[in-house]
Every structure is written in structure tokens, then in C-alpha cells.
Amino acid sequence: MPKQATLTQGSTFKHVSIMSFTGALGLMAMFLVDLVDMLFLSMLGEREIVAAVGFASTVMFFTVSISIAVSIAATALVARAIGEGNFELAKRRATNVLAIGVLFSSAVVWFLWPRIPEVLFFLGANFRTLDLATGYLQILLLGMPAVMIGMIASGIMRALGDARRAMYATLVCSVVNAVLDPILIFVFGLGIHGAAIASLLARFSMVAVSYYGVVKMHRMLGAFDGAECFKDLKPIALIAVPAMLTNMSSPLANAIVMAYAAEFGDHAVAGVAIVGRVIPVVFGGLFALSGAVGPVLAQNYGARQFQRMHNAMTSAVVYALIYSVLLCSALYLAQDFLVAIFHATEETASLIHFFATYGSFSFFFQSLLFIAIAVFNNLGKPLNSTLLNFGRATIGTWPLIVLFGWLMGADGIIFGQAVGSVIFGCIGFVMARRYLKELEVKEEQAVSDSSLSQQACPNR
């Protein structure tokens, strides 16, 4: 167990960069394997398979977002307790968040599994695409509890400032998946079902690595106590439920996009699905930003070091700008390569080219929204994150993709999403800055009131 809150000392830019970079490596490795999945499956020569993975991924994004939401509660509560110097409280809450997460994810699997065909049909899948997507998702969904354990464990280790071991769980998962993919898809001839089985087994490998980091190295899990778990249910729910709603908004946006893309045919769905796999590989460093900034903010909030919290936000913006310029430029140069390796048709290639040339640059503004979400989730106002993300997923997505889809065709789907990201990224960042200043003013007022009280009653 750590002897001190390490994120309350040293350069905030260094903390944000290291936490983001290590988180990005794990995320990018995981999503790179998903991208390779798509590449292998595209080699089978059936566009219905690629479209099926796109539909199934929309639902899986929903389940993974739930796991991320619960891990946000773990990170915020554990990091805040460590910043206050209360390591026993941190250990208790780590144990209870994990228990609640496993129970909840199991309930989601029980509810969703028999309804998979109806959900996929609602999203627009039909005929052979529906059958393939159903079989793929029925296998993959069984691994949701394992994903929940891995995400929560990674959140606990990030809260401790141990970004390196948090990365190991996702790296091992990716390696296992990458090894099993070609064996099950091609050697055993299982096709899309082989890809699902490989991903399922890889997710269970996360559990073993996470157990070693949290239990063996940091000794952060204690004996489960039902009464203490019930006592911690409220603070956990106050963060996890709004964060869950926040994260559900992203798959909601993806579902809206996928359903609208279906109106342009399987070629458009395949293009959106390929772009959806490219995005987390290229921009994993930005997706990791919220999880990187959160522990830095939470530990310093527990220690009441507000200037470091302001510095952490500024450091995150600088990191996001540098990252976006470098990776968007690389994506622009690699667009023809992506079209070639996915054997994209003319319609599908058009979407890939448009995203690499224009749409990708909106991710800097989306990173501003990620920073704002980290502020609200970790500093006691997670409902703001929910409102911002749902705003982006609904009025920042559907009207814009319909409008620009009407004006520009399928390319308008990408452009509409980009415009929504710019608008809500700017709004969210301004709101987060103001909220942090409000917390600082309240703390200064509380200190001032306490000082005056002591002066008035010196003998008390």
C-alpha cells in the first residue's frame, strides 16, 4: 500500500502525460486487436460479416461503457481517500465497488442476453447480417463480468498512481486476443464466431493480471462485509449512476449513427464500422485522458491543493493539442493504406477518406469534453457530465447528422458528429473551469470562517 499520495507532488504535466500514455497503450493495444479482428474478418470476403461486427460492437460499446462508469467511481473514491491520507477507507471502498460491479454486470448479462436479436434488429441489422451479429454478440457478452473486474481494478491502480500496472491488464488481454484470433478464425475455420471466442478468452485473462496488481502488489482488497458495502452504496451510486448515464450516451450516439448509416446501405455501415475501429486505435491517448486527469484531480482535491488542480487541467489541454496534431497528421497520411487493407468499396472508402481528411481534427475538441467530464466526475458533480454527454449524443448528433447527411450524403454522418464534438467540447470545458473556481472560492471561504471562529473563541 502506498505511503503517500504521489499525485499531489511533482509536475502535473508529467503525471497527466504518464497516466495518459500508459492508459493509451493499454486501450490502443486492445482496440488495435479489434481493428485486426475487422481486418481478418474482411479477408473472408463477406461484407455482411463486417457490418455484423459493426452492429454488435455498438451493443458491446454500451456494456463496456457501463464497466467504465463503475471504474470511475472506484477511481474517484479511492483517490480522494488517499489524498486525505485515509488508506483504510480507500481499501474498503475498493473492495465494495468491485463487489457491486460484479453483481451489476452479471445482472446486465442475464437481462440482455436473451434479447440480443431484438436489439440488433432495432439497430437496423437484418437477414444474414442479423444472424451473424447475434451469434457474435451472444458469445462476447458472456465476458462482461470479466471486463467489469478488469476495468475496476485498473481504476483502483490509477487512483494509487500506478499507471504502469493498470496498463498491464489491457496489454495482456490484447496479446491473448491477437494470438488466438488467427488460430480460431482461420485454422479452426470458426470465422466470426472464432473472433468472438478469442475476445471472450482474452477478457478473462484480464482478471488474472488485475488480481495480481490489486491484491498481491497493493493489498487493496479486504474481506467483504455486507453492512459496510451497504454503507458505501450511496457514495458509490452518487458517482457511478450519473457516470453510467454519461457513458451510456456514447453508445447511444453510436447507435443513432449506425441506425442512420443503415439507410445508406451495408457499404455505409461497413465504412462507419471501420472508422469506429480506427478511432480508438488512433485516439486512444485522448480517450485515456479522462482516466488520467481524474486521479490527479481527486488526490489533490482530497489534499485541498487547488492550484495543482488548475495546473492539471492546463497540462491536459497541452497534451491533447500535441497529441491531436501528431496523430491527425499521421492518419491523414495513412488513409490510402487503410482503404487498401480493408478492401473497401468505393462508397466505404469515401467515408474513410472523409474522416481522415476532415473529421479526425474534431477530436481535440472532444478531448476538452473528456477533461470536463473528469472534473465533474471526480469533484462531486457527475450529473453535469451526464447532461453534457447526453447533449452531445442527442442534439449534438442526431439533428446534425440528419442535416449534413441530407446535404452531403453519407459523408455528412462524419461531419455532423465532428460539429457536435466541437460545440460540446467548448461548452463543457468552460463549465468545468468555472466549477473548479467555484470549489476554490468555497474552500477559501470555509478556511476564512474557521479562522474567524477560532479567533472569536480562543479557549474552545
pLDDT (average), residues 251-265: 77
User: How far is 399 from 415, CA to CA, in rounded Å?
Assistant: 12
C-alpha distances (whole Å) from 192 to each of 40, 178, 182, 377 are 9, 14, 11, 37
pLDDT one-digit tens code per residue, 265-292: 777 787 888 887 788 778 877 877 877 8
Which of 41-50, 81-90, 309-318, 377-386 is predicted most confidently? 309-318
Q: How far apart are CA 352 and CA 278, in angstroms?
A: 9
> Measured between alpha carbons, how far is 197 from 192 in angstroms, rounded to an integer?
9
Burial of 14 (0-12, 13-18, 19+ CB in 10 A): exposed
Q: Is the pLDDT of residue 107 over 90?
A: yes
CB burial class (10 A; 0-12, 13-18, 19+) of residue 412?
A: buried
Within a 10 A sphere around the Cβ of 357, how many other Cβ atoms? 15
Q: State mean pLDDT over 410-430.
A: 90
| Spatial contact of 72 and 294, defined as CB atoms under 8 Å apart | yes
pLDDT averaged over every residue in the chain: 84
Residue 145 has pLDDT above 50, yes or no: yes
Query: How many angstroms separate the CA atoms of 55 and 350, rounded?
Result: 20
Tens-digit pLDDT profile for residues 2-15: 445 678 788 888 88
Q: Can you give the pLDDT at residue 367? A: 92
- Among 363, 383, 365, 364, CA closest to 373: 383
CA gap 327, 300 in Å, rounded: 30
Under the banding of pLDDT at 50, 70 and 90, the label for residue 449 is low
